[in-house]
Amino acid sequence: MFGRKGKKGNYAYTVARVKAKKSQLMGDDAYQKMLMMSLPEISRFISETGYSKEITSMTGKFTGINLIEHATYANMASVFTSILDSATGELKDTLAADLERWDIWNLKIILRGKSFGIDLDSIREDLVPAGVLDAEDLEKLMSLDVDDDIIANYGRMTGVSIPQSVVAEYKAQGNLAPIEDFLDKHHFERLLATIDSRSRPTRLYQEFIRKIIDTINLETILKLKLEGIHGEPVMKYIISGGKDIDKKLATQLANAETIAEAENDLAQLDMYEFIKDALGKDTHSLKDIVAGLRRYKMKEASTFSHLYPLSIIPIIDYMLHKENEVNNIRIVARGIDAGLDKEIIKGLLVI
Amino acid sequence: MVSQDITPTRSVLIELKNKIKTTKNGYKIMKMKRDGLIIEFFDIMEKAKAMRGSVTSDYETAMTKIAIASSVEGEIAVKSAAYALKTEPKVKVGSKSIMGMMVPKVEAEVIHADITNKGYGVISTSAYIEEASTAFEKLLDTIIRAAEIETTMKKLLDEIEKTKRRVNAMEFKVIPELEDAMKFVKFRLEEMDRENTIRLKFLKGKGEAAE
């Protein structure tokens, strides 16, 4: 992995491509401009900055804010798919392992929609085929009527085998939470296992993924803490393989009854700088803490991408920034549509 | 009661006196009930005022949280999380008595489910969506409590109005009419007494003249 030719993958070509694309991403000033616009103006503005194809093709189907949300997702999906299609060798495998999170997202949309009795057209509209499974695969999953068949087919398509204990728990509880949590944990465990850590760039990528796991684990711990859940029950939801938050620290954080009690332990972490102001702000909301964690993730992606330019990290960095751009556009557009205060919208943006 | 319909006898007079006494007692009790209901109403009104404030503030918080969740996570993710929910709010409706008047007692049995029991995965469901969900659960709980207070207040108002009408009817119609009737019977009985006396005197005079 991370070589320049042959089975190792076409790193030079893909990195050059994403670097060119990254320069086209919106900057801070674009979001500031968008904050002053109305929804139709935002639609027109993003049409001029690379989303015109999707905006035009979806105009008949969606309007207003929904058009912006669906068009930006569709654009992101086509960008990710195009990167995945052009990648070769191990690079393709690693990218596919990373993009599996979108397959999980789509599976959740299908299962949840079906369990609620939503019609297929509405489910189809909400899918974001940015992962390994294309529209045809997702259509096959949608055509199945029973949850068990959908899960089994998904497993066959992606090579994920869901343990019987998880299936039994899902059947006993009657809800999809055990399956969803298993898939989320399994995604990161498989991603870490895919990375061969014998060379420096792979080690860097592994380290980056482990840092992402830290942010997810910390968000999970804090979410549960806010609900008054601490101690052993929290550990069930911890993804193994975190870099700074190992099992011992995760247990310590989980055992703290309040966020304030956990602050001493949090102070040791790299991400503390990004969340320290938010920690004492509002004890009933994680809004600012989560925004801080997302900023930390983007900063880490940028930092890592410069450490070894000819590796998967610049590609992942671009994909994260692209996803972030889509999120930021949506934050501004939906925030304006909902009449949120400009300062709140600015606080939610990850720039 | 029309005075002319009454037979002016002593037994009717006694009956009327008793009726007036009972009605006046009833009137006093009704007046006390009306005052009690008014005091109760003002108590409930204070609670209702506070509850309306809570509903407004909880509604604003919930709408802000859902707007934030839809902005950060997207409408698709929020909708999808809502589809995954398996817990249904349960409400118990009973009744309680305020001064003999039955008012509803609404209790929220199951409103809040923690994140581990909602039906969606804990790891991938963002804090924004979870906070919006919790804010709406809180709003629902407040609305249920407000529904109890608002219904009680409405029922109290109806009951106060009814009691007020009864008290007024007693004060300005039933009691005065009974008193008028009693006066009439008394007057007629006195009149009859006088007529009898005169008749007796007349007969006595006639008898003496014949002798």
Contact criterion met (CB < 8 Å) for A219 and B127: yes
Taking CA atoms, A86 is separated from A2, A3, A82, in Å, by 16, 16, 6
| Interface contact A345, partner B, CB < 8 A | yes
For chain B, give every domain's residue range: 8-210
Residue A4 has pLDDT above 70, yes or no: no
Question: For residue B39, is it left (φ>0), alpha (ψ between -120 and 50) or beta?
Answer: alpha
Q: Chain A residue with minimal CA distance to B67?
A: A338
Q: Is B94 exposed, middle or buried (0-12, 13-18, 19+ CB in 10 A)?
A: exposed
Nearest to A177 among B70, B79, B122 (CB): B122
Compute the C-alpha angle B115/B89/B127, nearest 5°: 25
CATH entry, A87-194, from 3.30.160, 1.20.1690, 1.10.3470, 1.10.8: 1.20.1690
Top residue of A70, A126, A171 to mutate, by most chain B CBs within 10 Å, is: A126
The yes-or-no verdict on residue A141 having pLDDT over 50 is yes
- A69-98 residues touching B, CB cutoff 8 A: 69, 73
Could you give the CA distance from residue B100 to residue A209 in angstroms, rounded to a whole number? 68
More confident residue, A7 or B145: B145
Over the stretch A31-62, which tens digit does the pLDDT of each residue have? Answer: 999 999 999 999 999 998 889 999 999 999 99
Report the CATH fold assignment for B8-210.
Answer: Helix Hairpins (1.10.287)
Stretch A279-284: mean pLDDT: 73
Q: What is the pLDDT of residue A142?
A: 94
pLDDT tier, A3 (very low <50, low <70, confident <90, very high otherwise): very low
Across A90-104, A163-177, B138-152, least confident range:
A163-177
Confirm or reject contact between A348 and chain B (CB < 8 A): yes
Residue of chain A nearest B128, judged by CA positions = A287
Residue B169 has pLDDT above 90, yes or no: yes
Token pair recorded at residue A16: 């050059």
Mean pLDDT of B55-77: 95
Instruction: List, for residues A226-271, the tens digit of each pLDDT value.
Output: 888 988 999 999 999 999 999 999 999 999 988 888 888 899 899 9
Strand, coil or helix: what is A282? coil
Distance from CA of B90 to the nearest CA of A (A): 18
Q: Do A334 and B83 touch (CB under 8 A)?
A: no
The pLDDT tens digits for A203-220 are 889 999 999 999 999 999
Contact list, B86 vs chain A (CB under 8 Å): 174-175
| Average pLDDT score over residue span B97-120 | 83
With cut-offs at 50, 70 and 90, classify the pLDDT of residue B51. very high
Whether A286 sits inside 8 A of B131 (CB atoms) is yes
- Residue A71's alpha-carbon distances to A51, A94, B73, B155, in angstroms, are 7, 27, 15, 53
pLDDT of residue B187 exceeding 90: yes
Inform me whether the C-beta atom of residue B71 falls under 8 Å from chain A C-beta atoms.
yes
* The pLDDT of residue A277: 87
Whole-number mean pLDDT of chain A?
Answer: 90
Assessment of whether the complete model's pTM goes beyond 0.80? yes
* Chain A residues whose beta carbon lies within 8 Å of the beta carbon of residue B128: 287, 290
Q: Tally the residues of chain B.
A: 211
Q: Check residues B165 and A162 and name the one with the higher pLDDT.
A: B165
CB within 8 Å: A128 and B76: yes
Asked if B67 is an interface residue toward chain A (Cβ–Cβ < 8 A), one would say yes
Q: Point out the least confidently predicted range of A192-196, B60-64, B144-148, B178-182.
A: A192-196
Q: What average pLDDT is seen over chain B?
A: 91
Q: List pLDDT tens digits, range A97-123.
A: 999 999 999 999 999 999 899 999 999
Interatomic CA distance for residues A57 and A53, integer angstroms: 6
What pLDDT score does B1 carry? 54
Q: Which pLDDT belongs to residue B210?
A: 85
Give the 3-state secondary structure of residue B37.
Answer: helix
What was the pLDDT predicted at B118?
Answer: 87
| Interchain proximity A229–B116, CB inside 8 Å | yes
Q: Which A-chain residues 195-254 have CB contacts (< 8 A) with chain B?
A: 216, 219-220, 222-224, 226-229, 233, 237, 239
Q: Which amino acid is at A25?
A: L
Task: Classify each residue of A6-37 as buried b or exposed e, where b means 16 or more C-beta atoms within 10 Å of its C-beta.
Answer: eeebbbeebbebbeebbeeebeeebbeebeee
> How large is the average pLDDT for residues A81-89?
93
Chain A: residue whose CA lies nearest to B82: A112
User: In this complex, is the C-beta atom of A120 within 8 Å of any C-beta atom belonging to chain B?
Assistant: no
What pLDDT digit, counting tens, does each position of A192-203 carry? 988 887 888 888
pLDDT at A2 over 50: no
Distance CA A351, CA A328 (A): 8
pLDDT at res. B4: 60
On the question of pLDDT at B39 being above 70, the answer is: yes
Percent of chain A at pLDDT exceeding 70: 97
For the stretch A6-24, pLDDT in tens is 467 889 999 999 999 999 9
